[in-house]
């Protein structure tokens, strides 16, 4: 089965109502004023990274492409809008035929970004581009936040694998998106079967404490699990007494026991004790998996412990304290008349409180030093300097309404590894700091 052909992870009539009402009322006003078909350019960017973060991670691009393709106003949706008097009849007629026919460029998924980076650029008429604002921001803000947390956790884990297991800590649909974003950010597997089905992410999982408590004894539970799943399974050893559980686990499964999981207590101390005990019992190849409300700091604190893999839930799916990237979708250029070739002129919001925007259709490039290490994010509106022409970051995603930039999820995951490796070494420090690259603006 080609899961890329499945569309969304659940059956919905369309993505058209994943939006705010004012997108439609703006459309109605623009249709009445005769400005709806002016050529327009919208850009997605963030003014700042979450406090203390040194880089952001673009994630959700593939889901954005799915959402744009599925942005359709079918009969039921139009009836809903008409019944609620959300928009007038002329606007309903426009929506009935809506298909995005413009162009979208953006940072490829897995790439890193910084304040001011134009991570996505949407070009088309005002009418067709403005409607995509909410769904695009919903996807990019969520997925990029999770991917950034996943990236930091992956850095802290080093070569040890990470398991995404946060489905029970968030909305059921957000859980699927979070597993996908975590994979981009460096996680190797997920406990969520919907994510495995939709995105072909490896799935893992064996048993919880309930399975042990169901049986008359821990021995009965371990015996049943090994009989069902084989000696290579992972046995949960902290329901009662950890030392006794480890001894029993090796006795029942033999020295070929796959792994033991520790889900509570002093993980650093227990990991050392369990490793020593496993080795003494002859189970030298049995691995140790730790879980229990881990974040990047807890993972880093276990770097010297004999831990083989980490399972992360709550902190991952909530962005490790930063559940959104504060990305915005702003009109930065528009024409004075309709027509695909009408000249553009920059427009920008001017306001107090640091919420001003920079007008003009932008390009972005990453300047590197003599050693090939990134030293600045350069954003401009004029001609691209010759020295940066081959360092441009935006790629074509949609051309004339047709998706041209879809790629395997593994490509985004590998891109992130490459992008991270190209940043200064301080990018991977978990201590608080400023963005590792400055953003420079070129006219």
Altogether, the residues listed in the chain come to a count of 443
CATH fold of 146-321 reads: TIM Barrel (3.20.20)
At residue 352, the pLDDT reads: 64
Quick: pLDDT tens for 23-66: 999 999 999 999 999 999 999 999 999 998 999 999 999 999 99
Angle at 66 between CA 74 and CA 14, to 5 degrees: 20
Q: Which distant-in-sequence residues (6+ apart) come within 8 Å of 240 by Cβ?
A: 212, 218
Sign of CA dihedral 87, 88, 90, 92: positive
pLDDT band at 353 (very low <50, low <70, confident <90, very high): low
Quick: pLDDT tens for 388-426: 999 999 999 999 999 999 999 999 999 999 999 999 999
Quick: pLDDT tens for 180-220: 999 999 999 999 999 999 999 999 999 999 999 999 999 99
At residue 357, the pLDDT reads: 76
Partners of 439 in beta bridges: 377
CA distance 325 to 127: 26
Mean of pLDDT values over 88-111: 98
Instruction: Find the Cα–Cα–Cα–Cα dihedral 51, 53, 58, 60, rounded to 10°.
Output: -60
At residue 190, the pLDDT reads: 98
pLDDT score of 1 more than 80: no
pLDDT band at 2 (very low <50, low <70, confident <90, very high): very low
Tokens of 348: 């920008």
pLDDT score of 437 more than 90: yes
Question: How far is CA 390 from each of CA 114, 386, 394, rounded to the nearest angstrom?
Answer: 19, 8, 11
At residue 68, the pLDDT reads: 97
If one counts every other C-beta atom within 10 angstroms of the C-beta of residue 36, the result is 21
Q: Answer for the pair 55, 114: CB distance below 8 angstroms, yes or no.
A: yes
pLDDT score of 306 more than 50: yes
CA distance 357 to 307: 47
Mean of pLDDT values over 105-124: 98
Tokens of 56: 């952001």
User: Domain 3-131+327-442 is classified in which CATH homologous superfamily?
Assistant: nicotinate phosphoribosyltransferase (3.20.140.10)
- pLDDT, the chain, mean: 95
321: left (phi over 0), alpha (psi -120 to 50) or beta: left
Percent over 90 (pLDDT), the chain: 92
At residue 432, the pLDDT reads: 85
pLDDT score of 8 more than 70: no
Quick: pLDDT tens for 215-258: 999 999 999 999 999 999 999 999 999 999 999 999 999 999 99
Mean of pLDDT values over 172-186: 97
Quick: pLDDT tens for 307-333: 999 999 999 999 999 999 999 999 999
Mean of pLDDT values over 115-134: 98
pLDDT score of 11 more than 70: no
From start to end of 30-165, where are the E strands? Answer: 38-45, 56-57, 103-106, 112-113, 120-125, 162-164
Query: Does this model's pTM top 0.85?
Result: yes
Q: Answer for the pair 395, 105: CB distance below 8 angstroms, yes or no.
A: yes
Q: Could you state, in order of their start, the residue ranges of all structural domains in the chain?
A: 3-131+327-442, 146-321
Percent over 70 (pLDDT), the chain: 96
Question: How far is CA 19 from each of CA 169, 266, 318, 337, 401, rounded to the nearest angstrom?
Answer: 24, 45, 22, 27, 19
User: 3-class DSSP state for residue 281?
Assistant: coil
pLDDT score of 433 more than 80: yes
Reference 112, options 39, 192, 58, 50; nearest CA is: 58
User: 3-class DSSP state for residue 423?
Assistant: coil
């Amino acid at each position: 089965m080609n899961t890329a052909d499945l569309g969304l992870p659940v059956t919905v009539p369309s993505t058209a109502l994943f939006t705010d009402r004012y997108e439609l009322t703006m459309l109605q006003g623009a249709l009445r004023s005769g400005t709806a078909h002016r050529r327009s350019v919208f850009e997605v960017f963030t003014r700042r990274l979450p406090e203390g973060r040194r880089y952001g991670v673009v994630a959700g691009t593939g889901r954005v492409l799915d959402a744009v393709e599925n942005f359709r106003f079918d009969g039921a949706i139009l009836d809903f809008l008409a019944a609620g008097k959300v928009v007038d009849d002329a606007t309903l007629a426009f929506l009935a035929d809506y298909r995005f026919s413009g162009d979208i460029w953006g940072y490829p998924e897995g790439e890193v970004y910084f304040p001011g980076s134009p991570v996505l650029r949407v070009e088309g008429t005002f009418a067709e581009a403005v409607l995509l604002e909410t769904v695009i921001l919903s996807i990019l803000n969520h997925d990029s936040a999770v991917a950034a947390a996943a990236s930091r956790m992956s850095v802290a884990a080093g070569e040890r694998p990470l398991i995404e297991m946060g489905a029970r800590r968030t909305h059921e649909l957000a859980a699927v998106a979070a597993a996908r974003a975590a994979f981009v950010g460096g996680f190797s597997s997920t406990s969520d079967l919907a994510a495995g089905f939709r995105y072909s992410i490896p799935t893992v999982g064996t048993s919880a404490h309930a399975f042990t408590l169901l049986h008359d004894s821990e021995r009965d539970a371990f015996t049943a699990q090994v009989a069902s799943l084989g000696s290579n399974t992972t046995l949960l050893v902290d329901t009662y007494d950890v030392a006794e559980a480890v001894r029993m686990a090796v006795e029942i499964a033999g020295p070929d026991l796959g792994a033991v999981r520790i889900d509570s207590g002093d993980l650093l101390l227990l990991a050392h004790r369990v490793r020593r005990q496993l080795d003494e019992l002859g189970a030298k190849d049995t691995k140790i998996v730790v879980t229990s409300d881990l974040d990047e700091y807890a993972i880093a604190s276990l770097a010297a412990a004999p831990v083989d893999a980490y399972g992360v839930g709550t902190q991952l799916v909530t962005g490790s304290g930063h559940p959104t990237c504060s990305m915005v979708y702003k009109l930065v250029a528009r024409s004075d008349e309709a027509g695909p070739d009408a000249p553009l002129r920059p427009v920008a919001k001017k306001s107090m409180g640091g919420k001003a925007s920079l007008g003009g259709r932008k390009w972005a490039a990453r300047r590197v030093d003599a050693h090939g290490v990134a030293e600045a994010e350069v954003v401009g509106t004029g001609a691209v300097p010759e020295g940066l022409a081959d360092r441009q970051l935006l790629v074509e995603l949609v051309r004339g309404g047709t998706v041209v930039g879809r790629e395997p999820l593994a490509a985004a995951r590998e891109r992130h590894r490459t992008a991270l490796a190209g940043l200064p070494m301080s990018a991977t420090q978990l201590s608080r700091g400023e963005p590792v690259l400055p953003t420079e603006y070129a006219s």
